[in-house]
Structure 1
């Protein structure tokens, strides 16, 4: 007999089951990460500096950034320069990479620049503003030392602000334009973000601004802003006002192996910041800075820095009331500063566009002119400020200013091995040493010289002198002041 066919064979059921599983897994799988090329995918045009192309390229970058999904990469292709209008914006990018293998060059058309409102008085948009980044890397394949040069020398990783148009004519431009100028790169509310291998040059205003950061690392990057010279700061170059380097606020910030040459604050920690380290850097401008502050800053370290031909060196400044606490400057070399190598006090600045010498709170014209004021805010307090192994070589001017309001004097300021070699013999209005006022407790230790006049002198030289005096007193040689020296062995 012929057996009936097996109608329960597993094969017909296996096929639809397998197909269903494939369809289900395909539906659940995330979209494949991809590279979005600004030129090939975004439609940007390289090498054309006309206004129409600048605007097209700005719109293309905005549209391309808006397409990014987690895992994606945005690419500025190598060997290409894209002239671009400002107002580039993106928000909420997560787990993406922004790779700048070519160059972005900002428009220098101030009249066409987009603004928050009508008329030329309306606030300008930033060149690039990225808000709410999470787990994002901004990078290029360029790095210091590549091809014998440094970041950006091969055209990779360059964001060029063409700021000279915004700076205006030296000495007059600020009076005409003021501070309504675009920042070059803004990262607002960045969380777990890395910035590396970028060259940010000639910003119209602040170069890099990262407010409200939470976990930010900046490494192997470079800032330049100057009119004539990239080796010194003359009166012409210094009129490129407000060209700050890396300005940050927030928590858990690490900046390292980077360089700034500019005409304002170089590496600058601003209001409401905690747990910040800046190390292995070169800086020339207005200094390694905390400020200007009108709030609280805590636990900041600057270390292993070299500053050549800088204007200011160590620069801590209050514009209003607040507390700056637990700050360390360590292993800093400052060669031939042109102004104050050390300034701990009020911010030397003017908020009046028509009067650069206005004191807000300390005049930029102080102490050059007798009528200029330098006022320390009444409730601005420095607590636990340490300078250790800071060497200043051949300053052109006075060694420094240490100035607080007597209503809120500095507490526990330590200069440990702060040495000024070949100090200037040209006296300031207070003499050749530090201006030192408003310090409740300050001490100089190690090889510190000169010793600030309002500090306790506990340097190696002072301790040795007190031991000698104590020994003479013990031997009947006179009434020496034994200070806090240990008694000599003969008196034990």
Structure 2
């Protein structure tokens, strides 16, 4: 009887266990605690297999969806948790997601789920109220695998967008603080759609740009063969970053923080991503079909607005960006944006206001867009220096969570070697390009469709059509035409000091359309000093496309591009273009650059032959001479 009872009990226990195992959300909850660990919901640490990553994605979803108002979902400290997301999430109000360990995006691209716009974000939460995302840990995107597949010809990642690390869609009263985010496949943080009242503070965002560079070089070698390897071996002597990143694409669209909505504060963040540091984008709550395109701008109530970004430090950033804004019948717009107290090191773009081209259907429909009331204040950009504390900071951030190994960093010897290689050559190339592009009109170099086009991607200040060129021809290009359907008004640069960079082009670019000029441009204490100050000028497409005022110290002066408001009917009837000196033909920038580079190659060849002769002479020296030295035998 006892044995029969035991047998029945065993069968019952097995059946119960099977039912529990089939329950995808069987979390072991503690009734006395308001914390839910993903481990209690079935997550397994320190295992990078696809099956475990899927199970961990289910566990994370279950923990967040089982939590009630006031609960905290925890990613435990001291372990890596590999995750493939299971689904978009909707959570209870006033919930906290605390990341103390390392949440790692699994790099199995073929296993990653899709949503309507591409690959599902690692953490995607929609329609949340009072959500807090915080912790002492890290979210690691393992972006290298995604970047590699993206640059390959015919990659499906050009059709299906790569995943975002943290996407918080249509949330209100949102807080994101204190976490670190590493190597996202695409954006790191996206506060999308109609974010309302959000506060982002104390976070750090880091991208391993060294791996990106090696990846691009390797991809180009594979595509172009030995010829490219020889060219790159020669150009490796050049120090400026813009000579080291040819096709297919750089950066990889790894934006730091993208935001669309109202009443957003971003402060005390550190970013190194070689792309947009912060990008303020138009909200999806746009004007509907019943809204006239002739409605005055001050009545566009659906704009992204009241966004403040302050106390930001960045290394190798790609711009304090507003946009891009594509004109459409929905009237997308951004207004009332403030950037203040920004420290930038070795950035290839500083303030960056970017309208974009309207789609083809706007030829048949009334389309408009707008960027208005944007202020950049107390911005300091040092284009030639890396802060001494940076490497220590990067190691600390990458080892957060208690599980990661420190990444292998270049040695100090390697750094000194790179800094010593071709310094004179690098500055000489930059000098001649700056000299060639000193005219206030658009540089012919930037319009050329060849390798030198890369030189036109780096600007201390850029107001004009978005510069983007992706594999397969996507994007507007590096020197797109201006867009008359997008209004740019009331852009202020106050106390902006930029120095030390080796920017190939002139001081700044303001590229607006003659039929809809930029208005309200205010320049107050704006100083842009590269290494070749005497030749620097502001670049614009025409003399009468931007109107505003200058005050305080503005150097170089922007009068060639920014005209006073009383010159709205420029040019005046008595205006005459300055006459070119008789017998002096216009400069051909491309010819000058090619001639200079050819001469430079001959110099390198002569130096190489000279070194070979000197080396042979040393080898052939008589042993009696060596014996007379203190080191002789």
Q: Into which bin does the TM-score normalised by the smaller protein fall?
A: 0.7 to 0.9
Equivalent position of 1:420 in the other structure = 528
Aligned partners of 1:170 and 1:353: how far apart in 2?
Answer: 9
Equivalent position of 2:486 in the other structure = 380
C-alpha RMSD of the superposition: 2.7
Q: Per-residue displacement from partner, 1:345-393 (whole Å, max 9, x unpaired)?
A: 111124x64126x6x2xx22x3xxxxxxx21111211111110000010
Equivalent position of 1:216 in the other structure = 198
1:137-176 matches, cutoff 5 A = 137-140=132-135, 142=136, 156=137, 158-168=138-148, 172=152
Equivalent position of 2:253 in the other structure = 242
Q: Per-residue displacement from partner, 1:127-147 (whole Å, max 9, x unpaired)?
A: 11010110111111x3xxxxx
Aligned partners of 2:201 and 2:174: how far apart in 1?
Answer: 11
How many pairs are equivalent?
392
1:71-470 matches, cutoff 5 A = 71-116=70-115, 123-140=118-135, 142=136, 156=137, 158-168=138-148, 172=152, 177-178=157-158, 180-211=161-192, 212-228=194-210, 235-236=244-245, 239-271=250-282, 272-283=303-314, 284-294=316-326, 295-319=332-356, 320=358, 321-336=368-383, 339-350=458-469, 353-355=471-473, 360=476, 363-364=477-478, 366=479, 374-397=480-503, 398-424=506-532, 432-435=537-540, 437=542, 438-452=544-558, 453-456=560-563
Equivalent position of 1:63 in the other structure = 62
Residue aligned with 1:310, SS: coil
Per the TM alignment, residue 421 of structure 1 is displaced from its structure 2 partner at its CA by 2.2
Structure 1 pair 302–440 and aligned structure 2 pair: CA distance change class (3 A): same
Aligned partners of 2:152 and 2:212: how far apart in 1?
Answer: 22
Structure 1 pair 317–186 and aligned structure 2 pair: CA distance change class (3 A): same
Equivalent position of 1:38 in the other structure = 38
Aligned partners of 1:311 and 1:176: how far apart in 2?
Answer: 29
Per the TM alignment, residue 33 of structure 1 is displaced from its structure 2 partner at its CA by 6.3
Per the TM alignment, residue 92 of structure 1 is displaced from its structure 2 partner at its CA by 3.8
Aligned partners of 1:33 and 1:94: how far apart in 2?
Answer: 18
Choose between structure 1 and 2: higher strand proportion: 1
Choose between structure 1 and 2: higher helix proportion: 2
Structure 2 spans left out of the alignment, 5+ residues = 1-30, 214-239, 283-302, 327-331, 359-367, 385-456, 566-633
Aligned partners of 1:316 and 1:441: how far apart in 2?
Answer: 16
Aligned partners of 2:144 and 2:153: how far apart in 1?
Answer: 10
Per the TM alignment, residue 229 of structure 1 is displaced from its structure 2 partner at its CA by 6.9
Structure 1 pair 385–258 and aligned structure 2 pair: CA distance change class (3 A): same
Q: Per-residue displacement from partner, 1:151-209 (whole Å, max 9, x unpaired)?
A: xxxxx2x0111011010169547966326211111000110011001111111111111
Contact 1:76 1:99 in 2 (8 A): yes
Contact 2:80 2:101 in 1 (8 A): yes
Aligned partners of 1:424 and 1:436: how far apart in 2?
Answer: 22
Aligned partners of 1:251 and 1:194: how far apart in 2?
Answer: 14
Aligned partners of 1:170 and 1:71: how far apart in 2?
Answer: 41
Tell me the TM-score normalised to structure 1 length.
0.74
Structure 1 spans left out of the alignment, 5+ residues = 1-30, 143-155, 367-373, 459-492
Q: Per-residue displacement from partner, 1:27-75 (whole Å, max 9, x unpaired)?
A: xxxx976110111x21211101111111110111111111010111101
Q: Which moves more between the two structures, 437-446 or 289-298? A: 437-446
Aligned partners of 1:170 and 1:60: how far apart in 2?
Answer: 29
Structure 1 pair 57–233 and aligned structure 2 pair: CA distance change class (3 A): farther
Equivalent position of 2:363 in the other structure = none
Contact 1:267 1:287 in 2 (8 A): yes
Structure 1 pair 426–223 and aligned structure 2 pair: CA distance change class (3 A): farther
1:4-19 matches, cutoff 5 A = none
Aligned partners of 1:215 and 1:32: how far apart in 2?
Answer: 32
Aligned partners of 1:407 and 1:354: how far apart in 2?
Answer: 31
Aligned partners of 2:177 and 2:241: how far apart in 1?
Answer: 27
Contact 2:340 2:376 in 1 (8 A): yes
Structure 1 pair 233–176 and aligned structure 2 pair: CA distance change class (3 A): farther
Structure 1 pair 116–289 and aligned structure 2 pair: CA distance change class (3 A): closer
Per the TM alignment, residue 443 of structure 1 is displaced from its structure 2 partner at its CA by 1.5
Residue aligned with 2:56, SS: helix
Aligned partners of 2:490 and 2:46: how far apart in 1?
Answer: 53
Aligned partners of 2:305 and 2:537: how far apart in 1?
Answer: 35
Structure 1 pair 50–93 and aligned structure 2 pair: CA distance change class (3 A): same
Aligned partners of 2:468 and 2:81: how far apart in 1?
Answer: 36
